[in-house]
Amino acid sequence: MTVRYVESSKLPTSWGIFDMHGFEDTETSKEHVVLSMGQIDNGEPVLARIHSECLTGDALFSLRCDCGAQLQSAMHRIAMEGRGVIFYLRQEGRGIGLMNKIKAYRLQDKGADTVEANEQLGFGADMRDYSILQPMLEHMNIHEIRLMTNNPRKVKALQELGINVVERVAHESGRNPHNAKYLETKKGKLGHLLEDQDDGES
């Protein structure tokens, strides 16, 4: 595996002080970050979020998706528990990259859903590779996680890597009128375990 640990530092946030750990994939030159809080290497299952980079949602406050809200919710939940970890993976646009994501957004502006837009550009619905997590988890000495996700494919991918997901923690937040179709597509075509709109957030 080409992912190597670089360095760690403190990261003060609105939710508390996290430790930030830098990793580099020497094959792709992509840099990934792990945020941790509390003692995560004591053998107890760790509350975890595996979050793929979303510049538009995480940093530009886009309402087209629920990514930024999910990231903030994960940081809040970990701070409340006092222990947990977030793997921030540089896999923009489900792995297709930022420029292709903008092209996909343009197709969505014309009526395509998020899956159709990716496929019209010649990509699969989800191009992310979670194998890069293995060296990160090994470095952090994490063997069991309680995964904050609504995506059963993510759970399956981790289990196939030999990562013990002892619990799936429902993680729904950020629903708004601009992302209603996006969320329904994630539920209907990608199998995400989301509540119906009338049921509210969980």
Residue tagged active-site, from 25, 58, 66, 126? 126
DSSP state of 170: P
Residue 13 in marked binding region: no
**Known catalytic membership, residue 128:** yes
Residue tagged active-site, from 128, 153, 198, 199? 128
> What would the two tokens of residue 143 be?
């063997």
Query: Within 13 Å, how many C-alpha atoms sit on residue 78's CB side?
Result: 34
**Known catalytic membership, residue 58:** no
What is the C-alpha separation between 69 and 92, in angstroms, rounded? Answer: 16
Residue 200 in marked binding region: no
Positions of E strands within 53-123: 84-89
Residue 70 in marked binding region: yes
Residue 64 in marked binding region: no
Residue 36 in marked binding region: no
Residue 50 in marked binding region: yes
> Within the chain, what is the greatest distance between any pair of CA atoms?
50
Residue 77 in marked binding region: no
> At a CB cut-off of 8 Å and minimum separation 6, what does 24 contact?
3, 4, 6, 30, 31, 32
Residue 131 in marked binding region: no
Which residues lie across from 168 on neighbouring strands? 147
Catalytic residues: 126, 128
**Binding site, annotated residues for Zn(2+):** 54, 65, 67
**Binding site, annotated residues:** 49-54, 65, 67, 70, 92-94, 114, 149, 154
**Binding site, annotated residues for GTP:** 49-53, 70, 92-94, 114, 149, 154
